[in-house]
Amino acid sequence: MSHQIIIKPSGHVINNAAPDETILQSTLQAGFSLPYGCRNGSCGICKGKILSGTVNYGRYTDETLTEEEKQAGLALFCCASPLSDLVIECHEISAIKDIEIKTLPARVEKLERVAPDVMIISLKLPTNQRLQFLAGQYIDILLKDGKRRSFSLANAPHDDEVLQLHARNYPGGVFADHVFTKMKVKDILRFEGPLGSFFLRDTPEKIPIIFLASGTGFAPIKSILEHVFYHKNNRHNITLYWGVRTKADLYLADLAKQWQQLHDNFTFIPVLSDALPEDNWKGREGFVHEAVLNDFCTLKNHQVYACGSPVMVKAAYQDFTALRNLPKDGFFSDVFTPSTSNNQ
């Protein structure tokens, strides 16, 4: 039996939401774009309020949705499915509503190992195909066993002849192990996309923007910044903090330094958490979000775009809003949650 979902405050109505589909799936299929990121209950970006009706909350992490939040009517729309007609409350995103989500094949054009555990994968689409997307969005690689692996697009939308993904190798990562040991040029992959709501919002130029990346969280930020620089009319004061463990993990540091040389409104600050003696590192050290805390007394009139590990993103949100007065609606994030053989 299908259910009706009414979205507030827009008043948009979905009349045929299936009980075996999440609220997010139903809204996307109906052409209404809600904020979302991981789609597996880890990041909390899709959290919204159930004003009336009942839901199956689905599978999620207790840290992302607490019992107190459930009692207050909150749910994760990427996990929750309707058990009755619903009225929900959330802010819709108009910028992605007209972009078609496609399933496409792609050929591996190039594999470039740029750090001990980072591979840049370049994918070539069929000759008659292009992928329309917003800088910062991601795609899902569709595996033969039905599972998915999410990768942010690291190339900018204006440079879409080849899609660029940044893949990190890690213990237990089945697809990551395939990338580093078996994947070859000319291999064919299938993917679905574009997905996600991590993209640059329209903002008055007087508001400074901070980008915060850990590890390969640099990928979607690279896409956003290259798109910004390409249009040449953005005069925001932009700072990129990129946190990694060692100097070798700053796999595209020269590119970020080049941006700084070419754009007087852009500053690049790399941060190492575990610098090696042979790194001869003279720059910033520690946790990357703490570098921001040390540099800014207030973030009251700023926007922050954070991408990377759940620990980094959560700490940044908590500390920036609680200690530096960053408005909660001024923080945008994309959480990278590793997929192992035990999960999707």
For the segment 241-296, what is each residue's pLDDT rounded down to a tens digit?
Answer: 999 999 999 999 999 999 999 999 999 999 999 999 999 999 999 999 999 999 99
- The tens digit of pLDDT for each residue in 284-300 reads 999 999 999 999 999 99
**Secondary element (H or E) of residue 138:** strand 138-142
Q: What does pTM read for this prediction? A: 0.85
Q: How many CB atoms lie within 10 A of CB 201?
A: 14
Q: What is the pLDDT of residue 339?
A: 64
Average pLDDT, the chain: 92
- The tens digit of pLDDT for each residue in 308-333 reads 999 999 999 999 999 999 999 999 99
Rounded CA gap, 41 and 200, in Å?
A: 23
Most distant pair of Cα atoms in the chain: their distance = 64
Q: What is the pLDDT of residue 337?
A: 76
Asked whether the beta carbons of 146 and 114 are under 8 A apart, the reply is: no
Q: How many CB atoms lie within 10 A of CB 144?
A: 6
Q: What is the pLDDT of residue 96?
A: 80
Rounded CA gap, 177 and 61, in Å?
A: 26
- The tens digit of pLDDT for each residue in 18-61 reads 989 999 999 988 888 888 877 888 888 899 999 999 999 999 88
Asked whether the beta carbons of 79 and 69 are under 8 A apart, the reply is: no
User: What are the structure tokens assigned to 254, written together?
Assistant: 């020269």
Domains in the chain: ranges and CATH: 3-89 (3.10.20.30), 102-195 (2.40.30.10), 209-335 (3.40.50.80)
Position 232 pLDDT exceeds 80: no
Position 341 pLDDT exceeds 80: no
